[in-house]
Homo-oligomer: A and B are copies of this chain.
Amino acid sequence: MRRTRVNDTLQSQAPMSSVLVKGWVRTRRDAKGFSFIELNDGSCLQNLQVIVDDDSDASASVKQVNTGAAVEVEGELVASPGKGQQWELRASRVAILGGADPETYPLQKKRHTDEFLRTIAHLRPRTNKYGALFRIRSESAFAVHQFFRDRGFYYLHTPIITGSDCEGAGEMFRVTTLPASGPPAAANETLYDADFFGKEANLTVSGQLEAELFASALGSVYTFGPTFRAENSNTPRHAAEFWMIEPEVAFADLDDNMDLAEDFVKHLVNHVREHCAADLDLFGRFVDKNLMANLEVIAGKPYVRLPYTEAVEILQKAKKDFEFPVAYGIDLQTEHERFLTEEHFKCPVIVYNYPQEIKPFYMRFNDDGKTVAAMDLLVPRVGELIGGSQREERLDVLERRIEESGMDTADYWWYLDMRRFGTVPHAGFGLGFERFLMMATGVANIRDVIPFPRTPRNLEF
């Protein structure tokens, strides 16, 4: 007999006279004359209730079954007289596939802290919360691909190992095949001679520059891949390895970019609400009571679009004791971003046209001679969810900006070629996938939305 997934039994339109399910025991309870098993196979949040009569053949096995054990159960799917489920399985056979010693199995039926569960990241997807979380992560990723494909974008795999540094700065991991004890030669000229690539190699911090190249050929592209920051900071919002989505669109300006960002976020939120209702509900009940109301605002309301100058004025007038004082020219801190979106506007806010001094060289220089066509999309609780810009498409301006940033235009010959040959206005942005998941679920620590998070001095599993 072929196995039926628990989700399919629960969604069944009719009783099933004979069904085989396989999964893990969440709990076993013995009552007078029969036992209950709550069986989960990961296909959905809800368990299948299995009833084993004491006088059935299955009874002997079931008494040895503990939380965490893997079993297969054959039986009849019947309407459940109990509350909370439409169907239950009356077992005719229970076989133990793999036991779980109650003395040593860490996931007993009780509430565990997120901190403890991080130490057993290999087992935490077996809990309700993390099972739900990683199903939502999976479905959100699909929503990303669907959104862009429906709009004629092409998915692009930009390189992970890179010889360039997109931001013109930033902490990067180095990639090498040289022994950890140092290179064979001492002279600096030959530092990388024996290395795999014959030059310094790093892990990418962004696929944007390469995405721009492809946007100049395929029109609209997006990346969705891992990016890296070697920042030695232990905060709930930073990980050394995270996934980023970066669309890049030829023939688009800053307004188009803001439209795309707003549509994208709304699409993702609506997709998760529609396709992950049961899993999302868990977070609304146990993690953040305001979650559903917040998501309704994010999916429903038009986003405020606010020039940086006006954002600074609002912050300066605010009766709020900021840790970082506000003045024109500062980079907005999370406390400022959250004030704008959570307290002042109470909805997502797109701040645009930032002073050029605080933004990277590739952002398009505005005619005011002071600002660049940057935009950041701020959402409640998370702060910056998206950062993007219209890109500088004018060769002479871009060359000047690269030089002013203290970099060498020769290193960017290929990036500049794009402006030499058939240059077009274009724009794009980056969305941190984990930031989105934190917003969508109310989870406060980035370590809890990544299967196996990487942070300073943390490389287990």
Measuring CB to CB, which residues of chain A are less than 8 angstroms from any residue of chain B? 3, 5, 7, 22-25, 41-43, 68-70, 72, 97-101, 104-105, 107, 122-123, 125-126, 130-131, 134-135, 137-138, 141-142, 145, 149, 152, 154-164, 171, 173-178, 180-183, 188, 191-192, 196-201, 203, 210, 213-214, 216-220, 225-226, 228, 230, 232, 240-241, 243, 250-251, 393, 414-415, 417-425, 450-452, 454, 456-461
Contact = CB atoms under 8 A, between A and B. Distances in A.
Nearest to A104: B420
Contacts of A177: 171, 173-174, 230
Given A98-B422, A197-B457, A414-B122, A214 B451 contact: yes
A23 B422 CA distance: 9
A171 B107 CA distance: 36
B243 A157 contact: yes
A17 to B, nearest CB: 22
7 contacts: A134-B156, A145-B145, A158-B451, A161-B203, A181-B183, A182-B183, A210-B451
Contacts of A210: 122, 451-452, 461
B214 A125 contact: yes
Nearest to A125: B217
Contacts of A217: 24, 42, 123, 125-126, 130-131, 134
A109 B7 CA distance: 56
A230 to B, nearest CB: 5
A200 B180 contact: yes
A203 to B, nearest CB: 7
Contacts of A24: 216-217, 422
Given A24-B422, A214-B125, A418-B122, A155 B138 contact: yes
Given A154-B135, A422-B70, A162 B225 contact: no
Nearest to A140: B155
A225 B126 CA distance: 23
A65 to B, nearest CB: 10
Given A183-B181, A226-B226, A461-B210, A196 B452 contact: no
How many subunits of this chain does the assembly comprise? 2
B219 A42 contact: yes
A120 to B, nearest CB: 8
Nearest to A174: B176
Given A97-B425, A177-B230, A192-B180, A134 B154 contact: yes
A6 to B, nearest CB: 9
A461 B413 CA distance: 9
A449 to B, nearest CB: 10
A159 B461 contact: yes
A459 B199 contact: yes
Nearest to A421: B100
A205 to B, nearest CB: 13
A160 B218 contact: no
B173 A451 contact: no
Contacts of A152: 5, 7, 43
Given A134-B214, A138-B154, A210-B461, A196 B97 contact: no
B459 A201 contact: yes
Contacts of A250: 22, 41-42
Given A70-B422, A159-B454, 15 more contacts: A98-B421, A98-B424, A100-B422, A123-B213, A134-B214, A138-B154, A141-B157, A142-B155, A158-B451, A159-B452, A161-B228, A174-B176, A177-B230, A180-B182, A181-B182
Contact of A225 (B164, B225, B228, B459): B225
Nearest to A7: B152
A293 B401 CA distance: 53
Contact of A161 (B130, B240, B425): B240
A406 B141 CA distance: 39
Contacts of A175: 173-175, 203
A230 B178 CA distance: 11
List the 8 shortest-distance A-B pairs measured between CB atoms, nearest first: A182-B182, A98-B423, A125-B217, A42-B218, A42-B219, A138-B154, A197-B459, A70-B422
A218 B134 contact: yes
